[in-house]
Structure 1
């Protein structure tokens, strides 16, 4: 067993080590990649027989073993189960980076698997998994066209960091994962804190420098240790069939792409054109009716369709729906259309439409995160749904697809940057749901726009509205290309770039880019970002026209929230034994109360459906944490009888000692003669016992000032007045006036 290890040094960070030849030896390619204490096993396998499909049959699976963190999975079965959201997102990152470099005729089922075997929190595994799978491909017999590498670039306090420990990413203003080849960037995804476009371009240049070094490193591995590459079976070509199709429908397709038809009509027209040419082929030559020829004819037709669409844009600047390259489809924005939701918005851009809703919840509504690499909770959730009717199709409703998970994450990143981090809204759990009602390109960016409007409609004081736009590219050469604004679905499929950009008026908050060409100059990227900014500002104006700012009041159906500081030593009093006190507060007031604490103390966070319930719960908690006033009279209840006196509760959560001599003016032989458990009486707070440190109260001092002339009355302790007497409260005794009713 030959074990080979190669090391890639990273300045001021742990090196990346690649070992192979000693693990997973039945796989076509296998790499053990390590940085710090993080280790990922990456494997490649491809079948020997081709499958009948018109796409590359590639599957990328990334998994995290709980054992990698020294943990046992939760749940009944205690087994690593279906992929979680983090694993799906990492799988998509790697898939989007590597898929474009499989040969177009590759029809062998191929599976790339990356398994996290050891996890060091200082070194994230996602980039290592992508780099390891690219290395495994390079060492395997799968004939990928180019070697790809992946890197993470972070900008913090104006400085850029590449593949640095996790702690550097904390408080970063830019965090991107970038994939590329020696010649070009091919995939970008990440989030930013309203940074200008120039910072994004600078970050990509920094990342590409390391990517180029990593590609050279992997190419040396491939040249030294790689297997011979498979010879791709070239399918038979039919030039006569191709020429016949061009003669039969070439001019018709050229007219179709200039007729500005709606999506459904255009799709039907293309299908009818192919149906006619397919029948004409069979009539022209019986051999052309054979399945293999018809399959080739479908590919030729799709190729011709792509050519005429691209030529119309490059030569005349005419797009499928009649727009010029920089034009945006008509936009309409509506807010508050669902009366019982906490916030809602309908955003329509051409034939793409997103309906977003916002729900405000309590801390108990936070999503619990329990992954091998992450533990905690999440209080901002965005979920993107893509029902089949949005494209006029009939499909079963299943669990969210990988695409839906990916689009949810992108839109969530875009909006997360503008959420309030201080004040009452920092205590809310916020859930945004976007249902795509109609789709013809850029539905994820429509989700960003609809989500921002719905947040403002819900009264969430976001820092600034966020808009998103999808940019495309038709590329022939550096001298002949077109950058497209607000691309359609067909322009995405037939073009050379899908670049989703989201941000505020100030700067970018998230982006996602996939490039399908071998090389894209940075000048083209800068042009795309400039066009995207102009489009974003235009969309923001449309959104402001519908709703200029967040509503001053939240929905009457949304919970109110209020915070009360609690001293450390009184947190237990508010919670009570086994949570008894806090549960009683919630039960009697109909509120939800949570307790948080840090190094400064504790805080009670109250969520209520109305102001009265909020104030009632706040009043109870204040009473528990407030100190009694010397000389003040309180209504008390006897909790326990002792030989020397009684324990009485005279404020919520506060008990005092009523000495037997302080009950009535005359001598009492047995306390049971004058008091019973559960009995209510008035007491006067007279101070703290110097010896025991407990509160002392007096009944006889509360009744007629403790005068002995009240003996006959005092022998039967007087009943308390209805309600407790007023007493001074701190200045914050009532919640401040909120914006809501």
Structure 2
């Protein structure tokens, strides 16, 4: 958005400072059309350029295009090319017999206010070194020959190149680094396995992150989040916070179908909490995956905290990213059945008839 402001004192006049008038809307729209094609379509920010005209004796809309281009590059907006604009005027001598015919004329480059007021045309051209982005013509005579139009375009194009050369002496391309007070947006990939911890219970971790650092986080897809920060400093704080939450995934990559030695860290009613390596967070191994027989509590198997057991890794659940572990697949069903029968029945050898109870 380009906001063009032209207060009365810019032309040494007095007047009421009110809302935007038709003149300001038209000039602002022209300058915006000149700058917009140079801005990348995938730029992630909304841009507001404010052109405050403090003094005017020429084309303030073309000055807004030139100043806006410099401001965008200084702010680090990756414009495709610098943009400049110029106004061309006309002083003509019409044919008394045919007013639509011009007997003699002079084209004036970069006209002054008096030349615009007393002249016969206000022709504005803005664009890059490669082409034209915006055109506007205010013609005050009955007709304008095509020859004059072509000459005006050529004259304005030559002047535009000169203005761009002057602008390039100050800044010729967008700054590589954003300013300290400039916003930053980055994309963060959070594996599905860490998404629950990243978001937190009821979104607690996300709210905490946004409250502490001032960033705004939006989910793009299943594993991608967009982080918007008002300053680079806030972005650095947010990245440290996110790295702390997701650091476990950077330590060890487990292999599907492999057998690991896990350490029991906690006994719960529904299963046991185990660690496959020292710096990982404990994960739940459910009772249903501890043994082939049905158990109500891990103590039925004699499991204790600190004990090491063999488990098999079956990747992560695609819905919530949790580890899928199993101990029972490593146990023989036959051996488990014999052990179960021996727990339920006792064998007595009879001395007389050799009965088996």
Equivalent residues of 1:685, 1:696 under 8 A apart? no
Shift of the 690–405 alpha-carbon distance from structure 1 to 2, 3 Å rule, reads: closer
Residue deviations 1:569-613, cap 9 Å, x none?
99898667875553333234432223335xxx7642223322632
Partner of 2:81: 464
Partner of 1:645: 271
1:392 equivalent to 2:23? Answer no
Shift of the 528–615 alpha-carbon distance from structure 1 to 2, 3 Å rule, reads: same
1:539 equivalent to 2:163? Answer yes
Equivalent residues of 1:688, 1:696 under 8 A apart? yes
Deviation at 1:520, TM superposition (A): 0.8
Equivalent residues of 1:384, 1:405 under 8 A apart? yes
Equivalent residues of 2:34, 2:134 under 8 A apart? yes
Shift of the 630–668 alpha-carbon distance from structure 1 to 2, 3 Å rule, reads: same
The structure number with the bigger radius of gyration is: 2
Partner of 1:455: 72
Deviation at 1:394, TM superposition (A): 2.7
Distance 2:79 2:114 in 1: 34
Q: Secondary structure at the match of 1:464?
A: coil
Distance 1:485 1:416 in 2: 25
Distance 1:462 1:589 in 2: 29
Distance 2:125 2:208 in 1: 49
Equivalent residues of 1:473, 1:497 under 8 A apart? yes
Shift of the 619–487 alpha-carbon distance from structure 1 to 2, 3 Å rule, reads: same
Distance 1:633 1:437 in 2: 75
Equivalent residues of 1:633, 1:684 under 8 A apart? yes
Q: Is the deviation greater in 561-570 or in 460-469?
A: 561-570
Q: Secondary structure at the match of 2:220?
A: strand
Distance 2:175 2:274 in 1: 49
Equivalent residues of 2:4, 2:50 under 8 A apart? yes
Distance 1:452 1:691 in 2: 51
Partner of 2:62: 445
Equivalent residues of 1:606, 1:618 under 8 A apart? no
Partner of 2:228: 607
1:657 equivalent to 2:248? Answer no
Partner of 1:5: none
* Match runs of 1:121-270 below 5 Å: none
1:410 equivalent to 2:30? Answer yes
Distance 1:633 1:395 in 2: 84
Distance 2:189 2:318 in 1: 27
Q: CA RMSD, aligned part only?
A: 4.3
Distance 2:157 2:62 in 1: 14
Distance 2:317 2:165 in 1: 71
Equivalent residues of 1:468, 1:500 under 8 A apart? yes
Equivalent residues of 1:630, 1:685 under 8 A apart? no
Equivalent residues of 1:414, 1:466 under 8 A apart? yes
Q: How many residues align?
A: 292
Consecutive unaligned residues in structure 1, runs of 5 or more = 1-380, 676-682, 699-741
1:518 equivalent to 2:142? Answer yes
Distance 1:623 1:514 in 2: 64
Deviation at 1:523, TM superposition (A): 0.9
Deviation at 1:649, TM superposition (A): 12
1:509 equivalent to 2:133? Answer yes
Shift of the 633–537 alpha-carbon distance from structure 1 to 2, 3 Å rule, reads: farther
Consecutive unaligned residues in structure 2, runs of 5 or more = 95-101, 291-296, 327-357
Deviation at 1:568, TM superposition (A): 9.3
Partner of 2:342: none
Deviation at 1:393, TM superposition (A): 2.5
1:668 equivalent to 2:299? Answer yes
Shift of the 475–585 alpha-carbon distance from structure 1 to 2, 3 Å rule, reads: same
Distance 1:568 1:482 in 2: 70
Deviation at 1:435, TM superposition (A): 0.8
1:499 equivalent to 2:123? Answer yes
Residue deviations 1:152-193, cap 9 Å, x none?
xxxxxxxxxxxxxxxxxxxxxxxxxxxxxxxxxxxxxxxxxx
1:695 equivalent to 2:320? Answer no
Equivalent residues of 2:265, 2:282 under 8 A apart? no
TM-score (norm 1): 0.34
Structure showing greater relative contact order (alpha-carbon pairs closer than 8 Å, 6 or more residues apart): 2
TM-score (norm 2): 0.67
1:485 equivalent to 2:109? Answer yes
Equivalent residues of 1:563, 1:604 under 8 A apart? yes
Equivalent residues of 1:473, 1:483 under 8 A apart? yes
Residue deviations 1:280-314, cap 9 Å, x none?
xxxxxxxxxxxxxxxxxxxxxxxxxxxxxxxxxxx
Distance 1:667 1:596 in 2: 41
Deviation at 1:388, TM superposition (A): 2.5
